[in-house]
Amino acid sequence: MSNTVDAEEQRQLVRERYADIARDREAGCCDEGTDSTELGYDEADLDAAGGGDLGLGCGNPQALAGMTAGETVLDLGSGAGFDCLLAAREVSPTGRVIGVDMTPEMVDRARQNADDAPGEVEFRLGEIEHLPVADGVVDVVISNCVINLSPDKQQVFTEAFRALRPGGRVAVSDVVLTAALPDSVRKDPDSVAACVAGAEPVSELERMLVDTGFAAVDIQPKEDSATFIEEWDEDRDLSEYILSATIEARKPRD
């Protein structure tokens, strides 16, 4: 899907938006977000993650990933560390969690939140199109409503594939396009930076994953996500155009 914002401008819009959110949270201002219990998390998750929950997701990749102790987890666009902190509970004491985010303010926030995390958790500054992660060291890649923000999603999947060990898996929650967006939304810079205008159809995401080399690709839109997506915009019902979806795939062992 194309829009009128070029790649570098898109990255800057996203970086500025999430830097503002991180600063507001640090200042104690409660920026409105989705109630994470609507996304599939429970109160115990929210308590365990503390300040990492900013209500910025569109699903719960933890429920897909099936993490076990000793695994290495990579979170694309880790924000304030919510999903990383929850993953640490699953893979500790011998596992490892790596969060990558391109917004310095979010990385700083996540590092503060990780002070009391179980196991090994670290946050790295970087773009998900150019992951600061070695080849073949990750068991599972997770992400929560971030890949849609990338101007080069094919490159994101290529990097995820590179970082995964053979047999490793992708477990992602993201938004998908279900109907053509109005030009007023598609060309709006705020929509580009807010998990709307960058959404792709399921068929296009499937193509990208298969072209990258992934197998067992499975993308499932969630009709019930309309209940919180319709609250994302005061002027229109965005659930007429996008839905949250689960995105799963596996890197072949051969």
**2 belongs to a structural domain:** no
**170 belongs to a structural domain:** yes
Residue 240 pLDDT > 70? yes
Dihedrals phi, psi of 200, to nearest 5 degrees: -115, 155
Output the pLDDT for position 48: 79
Dihedrals phi, psi of 217, to nearest 5 degrees: -75, 130
**38 belongs to a structural domain:** yes
Are 105 and 129 in contact by the 8 Å Cβ rule? The answer is no
Give the structural domain span for 237.
Answer: 7-250
- Average predicted confidence (pLDDT) for the chain: 89
| Digit-coded pLDDT (tens) for 83-140 | 999 999 999 999 999 999 999 999 999 999 888 788 899 999 999 999 999 999 999 9
CA-CA distance, 208 to 117, in Å (whole number)? 35
**144 belongs to a structural domain:** yes
Kindly state the average pLDDT of the residues 210-233. 95
**158 belongs to a structural domain:** yes
**1 belongs to a structural domain:** no
Q: Give the total number of structural domains in the chain.
A: 1
Output the pLDDT for position 165: 98
- Using CA atoms, how far residue 92 sits from 61, 67, 96, 120, 243, in Å, is 18, 10, 7, 7, 33
Output the pLDDT for position 192: 66
Q: Three-state SS for 155?
A: helix
Kindly state the average pLDDT of the residues 180-206. 84
CA angle 118/120/121 to nearest 5° reads: 90
Output the pLDDT for position 5: 61
Output the pLDDT for position 8: 78
The percentage of the chain sitting over the pLDDT mark of 70, rounded to a whole number, equals 92
Token duo for residue 35: 């109630």
Output the pLDDT for position 27: 37
Q: Please tell me which residue, 218 or 25, carries the higher pLDDT value.
A: 218
What is the domain-level CATH number for residue 200? 3.40.50.150
Kindly state the average pLDDT of the residues 213-241. 93
| Digit-coded pLDDT (tens) for 2-38 | 455 677 777 887 888 878 887 775 433 234 567 888 8
**227 belongs to a structural domain:** yes
| Digit-coded pLDDT (tens) for 136-186 | 999 999 999 999 999 999 999 999 999 999 999 999 999 999 999 888 787
Strands 96-101 vs 242-250: parallel, antiparallel or unpaired: unpaired
Residue 207 pLDDT > 90? yes
Reference 248, options 82, 61, 88; nearest CA is 61
Output the pLDDT for position 163: 98
**203 belongs to a structural domain:** yes
